[in-house]
Chains A and B, each alone.
Chain A
Amino acid sequence: MGVVNAAITGLFDLLLAPFGWSAWAGLVFISLLTGAVLLTVFRYTSNQRGIRATKDQIISHLLEVLLYRDDVRVVLRAQARLARDNLRYLGHALVPLAFMIVPVGFLLVQTDLRYGLRPLAAGEKAIVAVELGPGVDLDEVSLSASPGIEVETLPLRIPTLQEVDWRVKAVAPGKQELRISVGGEEFVKEIRVGMSGGRVSRARVSGGVWAQFLHPGEPPIPRDAGAKSVTVSYPSAEMELLGWRVHWVWPWLLISMAFGYALKGPLRVQV
Chain B
Amino acid sequence: MSAKRSNKKGRRQVADDAPPEPGRREALKKLGALGALALLDVGALTSCGRRLSSPQMERERKLLILGIDGLDARITERMMARGELPNLRRLRDTGGFGSVTSTIPPQSPAAWASLITGRDPGGHGIFDFVHRDAETYETVSSGTATAPPKYTIPVGQWQVPLSGSQVESLRHGTAFWDRLAERGIPCEVHRVPANFPPTDSGAKQMAGLGVPDARGTLGTCSYYSDVPLGPNQGLETHSVRVANGVVRARLNGPRNSLRNGWPTTSVELGVYLDGHSRVAKIAVQDQEIILRQREWSDWVPVRFVMVPQVKTITGICRFYLKEVTPNFKLYVTPVQFDPLDPALPIAAPAGFAGELASRHGRFHTLGLPEDTSALGGGALDDDEYLHQAGLCLEEARRIWESALAEFDRGLLFYYFGYTDRNQHVFWRASDPRHPAFEPRLGREYGGIVEDCYRLSDELAGEALQASDDDTTLIVVSDHGFAPFYRKFYLNAWLANNGYLSMRDVSEGAPIATGAVWSETLAYGIGLNGLYLNLAGRESRGIVSQEQRESLLRRLVKDLYAIRDPDTGDAVFSDVALTDEVYSDALPALTPDLILGYAPGYRSGVASALGRMTSEELRDNTNKWSGDHCIDRDAVPGIVLSNRALRRERVSLPDITATALAEFGLNRPDDVLGQSIL
Q: Do A and B bind each other?
A: yes
29 contacts between A and B (CB under 8 A): A152-B292, A153-B277, A153-B290, A153-B292, A154-B274, A154-B276, A154-B277, A155-B274, A155-B277, A156-B272, A156-B274, A156-B279, A156-B281, A156-B290, A157-B245, A157-B274, A157-B276, A157-B277, A158-B245, A158-B246, A158-B272, A158-B274, A158-B281, A159-B245, A160-B245, A160-B272, A165-B272, A167-B279, A167-B290
Q: Please report B residues at the A interface, Cβ cutoff 8 Å.
A: 244-246, 272, 274, 276-281, 288, 290, 292
A168 closest partner in B (C-beta): B290
A154-B278 in contact (CB<8A): yes
Residue of A nearest to B280 (CB): A156
Residue among B245, B274, B278, B290 with the highest chain A CB neighbour number at 10 A: B290
User: Which A residues are in CB contact (< 8 Å) with B246?
Assistant: 158, 160
CA A233 to CA B290, docked complex, whole Å: 12
> Given A156-B274, A160-B246: A233 and B288 within 8 A (CB)?
yes
CA distance A158 to B290 in the complex (A): 12
CB distance from B528 to the nearest CB of A (A): 48
Q: Which chain B residues lie closer than 8 Å to A234 at the CB level?
A: none
The 3 closest A-B pairs by CB, nearest first: A154-B277, A167-B290, A156-B274
Q: Within the complex, what minimum Cβ distance (angstroms) separates A79 from chain B? A: 31
- The secondary-structure label for the interface of chain B is strand
Q: Does A127 contact B (CB under 8 A)?
A: yes
What residues of chain B lie closer than 8 Å to A158, measured between beta carbons?
A: 245-246, 272, 274, 281
Docked Cα-Cα span, A165 to B272, in Å, equals 10
Chain B residues with Cβ below 8 Å from A156 are 272, 274, 277, 279-281, 290
| B279 with A153: CB separation less than 8 A | yes
Instruction: Give the Cβ gap from B296 to chain A, nearest Cβ, in Å.
Output: 13
What residues of chain B lie closer than 8 Å to A115, measured between beta carbons? none
- Given A153-B290, A165-B290, A166-B290, 20 new contacts (CB under 8 A): A127-B288, A152-B292, A153-B279, A153-B292, A154-B274, A155-B274, A156-B279, A156-B281, A156-B290, A157-B245, A158-B272, A158-B274, A158-B281, A159-B244, A159-B245, A160-B244, A160-B245, A160-B272, A167-B279, A167-B290
Q: In the docked arrangement, what's the CA distance between A156 and B292, Å?
A: 10
Alpha-carbon distance between A88 and B502 when the two chains are bound, in angstroms:
82
A113 to B272, CA, bound (A): 29
Per the bound structure, the CA–CA distance linking A152 and B292 in Å amounts to 9
Q: Give the CA-CA distance A165 to B289 in the complex, in Å.
A: 11
CB < 8 Å A-B pair total: 45
Give A155-176 interface residues, CB cut-off 8 Å to B: 155-161, 165-167
Question: Once bound together, how far apart are the Cα atoms of A158 and B281, in whole Å?
Answer: 9
Contacting residues, chain A, for B290 (C-beta < 8 A): 127, 153, 156, 165-167
CB neighbours (8 Å) of B245 from chain A are 157-160
Compute how far the CA of A157 lies from the CA of B272 in the bound complex, rounded to whole angstroms: 8
Residues of B within 8 A of A155 (CB): 274, 277
Q: Which residues of B contact A160 (CB under 8 A)?
A: 244-246, 272
Give chain A interface residues in 119-162, CB to chain B under 8 Å: 127, 152-161
B276 neighbours in A (Cβ, 8 Å): 154, 157
Measured between C-beta atoms, what is the minimum distance from B330 to chain A in Å?
Answer: 15
- Chain B CB count within 10 A is highest, among A156, A159, A161, for A156
| Distance A161 CA – B288 CA, assembled complex (angstroms) | 15
A165: which B residues are within 8 A, CB to CB?
272, 281, 290
**Complexed CA–CA distance, A2 and B244 (Å):** 37
Closest residue of chain B to A128, judged by CB? B290
Residues of A within 8 A of B292 (CB): 152-153
**Contact partners of B277 in chain A: CB under 8 A:** 153-157
Bound Cα distance A160, B247 (Å): 12
- Within the complex, what minimum Cβ distance (angstroms) separates A229 from chain B? 15
Give bound CA distance, A238 to B272, whole Å: 30
CA distance A106 to B444 in the complex (A): 63
Give the complex CA separation of A35 and B272 in angstroms.
46
Quick one: which of B244, B245, B276, B281 has the most chain A CB within 10 A? B281
Chain B minimum-CB-distance residue to A157: B274
Contact partners of B278 in chain A: CB under 8 A: 154
Contact B288 A154 (CB under 8 A): no
Q: Which residues of B contact A127 (CB under 8 A)?
A: 281, 288, 290
Separation of A70 and B483 alpha carbons in the complex (Å): 89
Task: Name the residue on B nearest A233 (C-beta).
Answer: B288
**In the complex, what's the smallest C-beta–C-beta distance from A116 to chain B, in angstroms?**
15
Q: How far is the CB of B290 from chain A (nearest CB, A)?
A: 4
Q: Distance in Å from the Cβ of A124 to the closest Cβ of chain B?
A: 11
Alpha-carbon distance A152/B279, docked complex (angstroms): 11
Residue of A nearest to B274 (CB): A156
Contacts of A167 in B (CB 8 A): 279, 290
Known: A127-B290, A166-B290, A167-B290. A154 touches B279 (CB 8 A): yes
Q: Which residues of B contact A152 (CB under 8 A)?
A: 292
Task: Give chain A nearest CB distance to B359 CB in angstroms.
Answer: 16
Q: Which residues of A contact B279 (CB under 8 A)?
A: 153-154, 156, 167
- What B residues does A233 contact at CB under 8 A? 288
Shortest C-beta distance, A120 to chain B (Å), equals: 15
Q: How far is the CA of A153 from the CA of B288 in the complex (A)?
A: 15
A246 CB, nearest partner CB in chain B, Å = 16
B164 → chain A closest CB, angstroms: 25
